[in-house]
Chain A
């Protein structure tokens, strides 16, 4: 059974700092890995999706990397801003089973302070 772990569970940084969020998964047989953002009281918003054949994806100040063989992904946020404060979740889509089913980590709660 796939298990997804995110470390740290919470992180507080000063504005402007570059930071890295970590995600690890136990089964490397995946279609893709996704990073989501969740604001308090809201649903999840997709940030980046990395296909299993890719090594990284970039969107603005966000860069996500994938090392499938070691079961690891990182989300790099450059020049962090208070508006980046949210919970960040990673999820993997396995090769078996239909329906685009995802297995989620428990998230990293990020606070960017002024």
Chain B
């Protein structure tokens, strides 16, 4: 049981390039989330999804797009990368049942540098 898997683990991009980060979970969770973690700022929610085919904006959505075509996958896209998007990106998931009091399960992160 792998839990939450993020690919890639590391990536270096040039300003203006595009890329997609992939998150996959094998726990049949309905909810999935993308966060970014920056020094001194904690984790901030970028986008989230409450089920297959749904997405919603979080606290810092600008410059990112997401898709949830399959329940187990949540994709985060950067259309035109900027140096301000250099960060560590975390994906998480949580179940629907008893959702108000269920912990989120996190992947190990993707370290992204934009030059």
Contacts and interface: CB of A to CB of B under 8 A. Distances in A.
Given A99-B56, A100-B100, A101-B48, A4 B90 contact: no
Contact of B42 (A41, A42, A107): A107
B43 A104 contact: yes
Interface residues of A, number: 25
Interface in A28-61: 31-32, 34, 36, 41-46, 49, 51
Interface in B69-115: 90, 92, 94, 99-109
Interface of B: 4, 31, 33, 40-45, 48-50, 56, 58, 90, 92, 94, 99-109
A106 B42 contact: yes
* Dominant secondary structure of chain A at its interface with chain B: strand
Contact of A43 (B42, B45, B109): B109
A3 B25 CA distance: 29
B101 A51 contact: yes
Contacts of A93: 100
Contacts of A31: 100-101
A45 B107 CA distance: 9
A3 to B, nearest CB: 10
Contacts of B107: 43
Given A42-B109, A44-B92, A105-B42, 15 more contacts: A43-B4, A43-B107, A43-B109, A44-B43, A44-B104, A46-B103, A49-B101, A89-B42, A89-B43, A91-B43, A99-B49, A100-B31, A100-B102, A101-B33, A101-B58
